[in-house]
Amino acid sequence: MLVVPAIDLKDRRCVRLYQGDYQKETVYGDDPVAIARGFEEAGAELIHVIDLSGAKEGRPVHRDLIREIVKAVSVPVEVGGGIRDLDTIAAYLDDGVDRVILGTIACREPDFVREACRRFPQRIVVSLDVRGDYVAVEGWTEESQIHYLELAKLFEDAGLRAIIFTDITRDGTEEGVNLKRVEPLLEAVSIPVYLAGGVSSLEDIRRVLPLEEKGLEGVITGRAIYTGALDLREAIRLAKGQK
């Protein structure tokens, strides 16, 4: 299983939000490129980057900075936030991004996801950002009326690389992972799933490891790494079954 460190970009800085609230941010660094390099040195095999400003504005805001991050590391980088059209996907992939994450548009235009998967095989990830049982959109500022399992099932045969399931109520809280909603998702689809939101300790890594055989490919963590509650190097070793 992969432990994937997260970099959330706002105003060119690395920040974390509390439960997706843009008014409750904590700045963890002014040099996201250096942070990415540190993650690679710790053993990360994939880095998760979200353009928070782009997610809110509905267009890429930090593309130049993301390009710098991609050039600075040798491991794959996945990117999301404000991606609404095929040209933007193509531009990010041309920049060296390995996977592109679709959130709002996946909820509002599922057929767009299918077309993106057709054009860019195994390079598209859908993010299910969930509050309660329903998917949130527009940088988590609006709640849709679409149940997350219903939306996930629409993409079962689309050719997605993965689904990211984020429990918004746990995101940035370090309260521990909530398995109550991710387990039904693993049962509902055969698409690889990544879990985000609430990862706070090595114990959380231990809790999710049994789900690997059910299709959980990795966990994404941010705040716990920055606060020191979770040692990334140790978490990666644990997830790989190393002592």
Taking the C-alpha atoms of residue 102 and residue 112, their distance in angstroms, rounded to an integer, is: 10
Per the residue annotation, which of 8, 51, 171, 204 is the catalytic one?
A: 8
Per the residue annotation, which of 51, 129, 171, 204 is the catalytic one?
A: 129
- Looking only at the bridges linking them, the beta strands covering 47-51 and 2-10 are parallel
Distance spanning both ends of the chain, measured CA to CA: 15
Of 48, 19, 45, 67, the C-alpha closest to 220 is 48
**Contact yes or no for 239/3 (Cβ under 8 A):** yes
Query: Does the annotation mark 8 as catalytic?
Result: yes
Catalytic residue annotation = 8, 129
